[in-house]
Amino acid sequence: MAQLAEFIGNHVLLVTLFLAVLFLFLFSAYKQASEGMKSINVEQLTRLVNQQNAKLVDIRPEEAYKQGHIVNAINMPMDKLVTGKVKLDGLKKRPVVVYCQVGQTSMKACKVLNQAGIETAFSLQGGLNAWLKDKLPLTR
């Protein structure tokens, strides 16, 4: 315990930065949990699609979608989703998995979908990059 106190005394800046990062991480995790946002990995995505007939929503721009997307995914660009220019009728009765390129924007899209009445919206962790990292196929 004396060594810990000595380390903290010798590395005040390092310890302060560590505590700041820890606080931000915990705050972010709490915010996600309190807003009901759920994220899943690629393995959970394939299981959800195969077992519960989940619908995949690609929120990337149409040009990126045309270059390659996950099989059976529908394209709902984020800007159209936010402005309400897309129909969500067929998505309300089954799980929805939203993905973007890296997994950040899809969390925002899940929030929009939850506000639109879709209860089971998931974000793909790592987005399409995670899908490609696992060497899974795309379709055009």
Single out the residue of 105, 109, 100, 107 nearest to residue 130, CA to CA: 100
How many CA atoms within 13 Å lie on the side-chain side of 108? 11
- Say which of 45, 100, 121, 124 is annotated catalytic: 100
In a domain, 139, yes or no: no
Domain of 26 in residue numbering reads as: 2-32
Annotate 64-94 with three-state secondary structure.
Answer: HHHHCECCCCEECCHHHHHHCCCCCHHHCCC
110 is catalytic: no
**Same domain, yes or no: 23 and 51:** no
In a domain, 140, yes or no: no
Dump pLDDT digits (tens) for 31-73.
766 555 688 999 999 999 999 989 999 999 999 999 999 999 9
**Same domain, yes or no: 46 and 83:** yes
Dump pLDDT digits (tens) for 73-122.
999 999 888 887 777 777 777 899 999 999 888 888 888 888 888 888 89
Strand order in the sheet with 38-40: 38-40, 121-124, 96-99, 55-58, 74-75
Domain count, the chain: 2
Dump pLDDT digits (tens) for 28-38.
777 766 555 68
**Same domain, yes or no: 82 and 55:** yes
Nearest-angstrom CA–CA distance, 125 and 79: 21
In a domain, 21, yes or no: yes
For the domain that residue 98 is a member of, what is the CATH number? 3.40.250.10
